[in-house]
Amino acid sequence: MTPKISTAILALGVASSFFLFIGGGTAAETHVDCDKVMHELVNGKSALEVANDLGTSASAVYDCENAKAATGRQGMPSAVPSASVSSPPTSPR
């Protein structure tokens, strides 16, 4: 291998490692205690206040709200009646 090619490969490897290192920590750092978030929201705080108090983003607070709303909707019956197939009533002749 020529020195130019090996230097280019080394530089590409270092740059790739750097970007993987920088971007790799974001998923673990965004974990939010949704129970605490919902407690604060129920007590009257805004999403921005909760985000500032807990050191997270407002979108993480909204994600907790949406997750709570989705779990609440799972147990509720649908407002749209199901289409059941039944025979029409017959009248006696």
Question: Tens digit of pLDDT for each residue in 33-44?
Answer: 899 999 999 999
| Residue 2 domain flag | no
More confident residue, 24 or 80: 80
State which residues form the domain around 40. Answer: 32-73
**Number of compact structural domains in the chain:** 1
Q: How far is CA 20 from the centre of its chain?
A: 22
DSSP, res 11 = H
- Would the pTM count as exceeding 0.85? no
Structure tokens at 36: 């605490």
| Residue 25 domain flag | no
| Residue 65 domain flag | yes
Q: For residues 13 and 19, what is the distance between their CA atoms, to the nearest angstrom?
A: 10
Query: Is the model's pLDDT at 22 over the cut of 60?
Result: no
| Residue 40 domain flag | yes
| Residue 56 domain flag | yes
**The pLDDT of residue 27:** 41
| Residue 91 domain flag | no
Residue 46 burial (CB count, 10 A): 12
DSSP, res 80 = S
Instruction: List all residues 6 or more positions away from 76 whose beta carbon is below 8 Å from its beta carbon.
Output: none
